[in-house]
Structure 1
C-alpha cells in the first residue's frame, strides 16, 4: 500500500559540516521522521521557504508542524519579553502558509510544541512567553512528565488518560484560539494539548510536549497517519 506523504516543517540554521564551517542548512531532528515512518507515513521535509510552500502542500496528504524556536510575539499582538528568543520570520511565514493550505484542503494537521502554539495563534490565541517552572532543569534535555488527558477526545483516544510525554518548553498557551478546545493539561493547569472543537472537522490536534519522543505517543501518530490515508475532508 502506498504510504501517505507527510510534510514535516523544518528549521533553518548554520552548522559545521565535515570540513566546512557555517553551512546554511534546513534541518529536522530524526525522531520526527522515525515516528512518521513507523506509523506508516512517508515524511518529506518542508523547508522555511515560503515561495515553495504551496506547491509542496498541494501534493502531500498531511502536515506535521514541528517544534523549535519561539514564535514572533508580534503575531499574537505582543512585545517580546525578557526571556523571548529572537524570532525566525522566514519560518513563521512558511509555516503559516503551510497551515493555511492544509486547512483549505482539509488534510490532517498535527502540531508539536511550537506547532500547537502556531495553530492556536492563527485563531487569535496568545502565549505565555515564559514558564520558568516548566523550563528544563538542564537546557537541551527533554524531561519526562505525566499529563492528564480528557478521555472522550481525539487525544484521549490515542494517548489514554495519563501518558508520559517529553517536555522542553519555556512557553505555553495563554489564551487558546477560537475553534479549539483544550484536552490535555499538566498538573498545574498548563495546556498540554488541544484539538478542533468540532469533532466532525478534519483531523487537527497538537501537543505542547515533544510527541516525536517516547512510546506513549505512538498511537497519536498512528491516528494521524490513518486520517491521512482517508484523504482530504473538503
Structure 2
C-alpha cells in the first residue's frame, strides 16, 4: 500500500526486556532495561503505508514520573495504537495468583499498556492488539485468561510449539455476523500461526468474539462493541509472508484498521 498524505502515525507499545543479572548501581541512572519495537511489527505497518512510532513505557518506579497526561499527549498526537506481543500478563492484573512462578508475567507492562489503551480509547483513536495485545485488551475491559492452556485446558489444540515457533499453525474459524466476516466475505476458515500458551478464559463484557479455533473453541479474535475501534487477534499477522497463500491473508484486516485511523484523523483534524 502506498504512503498517503498526510502520513498516518501509528503508536506501538514497547516490548520490555529486563536484565537477567544485577546491574552495578553507581548512584546514577543505572537501569539497563530495554524498550523495543520488533522489526516485524514495524515492517507490517510500513507495508500498510503507515509510520510506526514506539511509545516508551513509564511506571511509578521509572526515572521519569508516570502520569496519565503524558500518555494522553501520545494519544492526541498519534492516529492509532498497536499493542505488540511479548511477555505473559500477570495474573494479578485479572485478580488471580500465579499457578506457577513461571507464569508471573509482567505487571509493569500490564499497567503501562492498560493506561495506553484507556488514553487512546478516551481520545477516540483506534486500537489493535497482537497476541499478548488481545489478552491485554480482554483484561483491560474486565476479562480473565487461562494462565497456561495445556494445564487448564488439556483438551485444547497445541497453541505453541517452541521448535516450530511461527510455523506452528492451526485452523481458525471466522464467526458469522462479525466485522471480521465482513472483511473476508465467503471465507469461513483459514490457517493461522499460533505462538501462545495463554488465552482468553472469560471474555470481557463489551467484547465480541470474531474468530475461534474450531478444534477447541479458544477465542482467536475479538472486537469491542460500539463505535470505538478496538480489535485484536491472538495470532501474529506480522509474521505472515506477503503473498503466502497457505495462511490467513491479514492485508484486509490491516487495511481496515488503517482506514479507521485515517477516518478518525479526518474527524479530529
Alignment TM-score > 0.5, same fold: yes
Counterpart in the other structure of 1:134: 158
Structure 2: distance between partners of 1:83 and 1:23: 23
Within 5 Å, which residues of 2 pair with 1:67-146? 67-82=85-100, 84-132=102-150, 133-138=157-162, 141-142=165-166, 143-146=168-171
Q: Which runs of 5+ in 2 are unaligned?
A: 20-30, 60-65, 151-156, 243-248
| Residue 11 (1) aligns with residue 15 (2) | yes
Whether the aligned pair in 1 keeps the contact of 2:75 and 2:123 (CA below 8 Å) is no
Q: Distance in 2 between matches of 1:151 and 1:229?
A: 27
Equivalent residue in structure 2 for 1:178, among 183, 187, 205: 205
Query: Which is further off, 34-43 or 153-162?
Result: 153-162
Moved more, 182-191 or 74-83: 74-83
The farther-off stretch of 36-45 and 83-92 is 83-92
Residue 83 to residue 89, structure 1, CA distance change in 2 (3 Å)? closer
Q: Which residue of 1 aligns with 2:252?
A: 219
The aligned counterpart of 2:245 is none
Alpha-carbon distance, 1:222 to partner: 1.1
Q: Is the contact between residue 64 and residue 111 of structure 1 (CA under 8 Å) also seen in structure 2? A: yes
What is the TM-score of this pair, normalised by structure 2? Answer: 0.77
- Is the 1:120–1:126 contact (alpha carbons within 8 Å) kept by the matching residues of 2? yes
Is the 1:155–1:205 Cα contact (8 Å) retained in structure 2?
A: no
- The structure, 1 or 2, with the larger RCO (C-alpha pairs under 8 Å, 6+ apart) is 1
Equivalent position of 1:191 in the other structure = 219
Check whether the contact 1:53–1:94 (CA below 8 A) recurs between aligned residues.
Answer: no
1:230 has 2:263 as partner: yes
- The residue that corresponds to 2:177 in the other structure is 152
> Shift of residue 90 of structure 1?
2.4
What TM-score results when the alignment is normalised by the length of structure 1? 0.88
Equivalent residues, number: 227
User: Looking at CA atoms only, which structure, 1 or 2, has the larger radius of gyration?
Assistant: 2
Gaps of 5+ in 1: 16-21
Per-residue CA shift, 1:37-65, capped at 9, x if unaligned?
A: 11121110112224353322221000101
Maintained 8 Å contact 1:111/1:119: yes
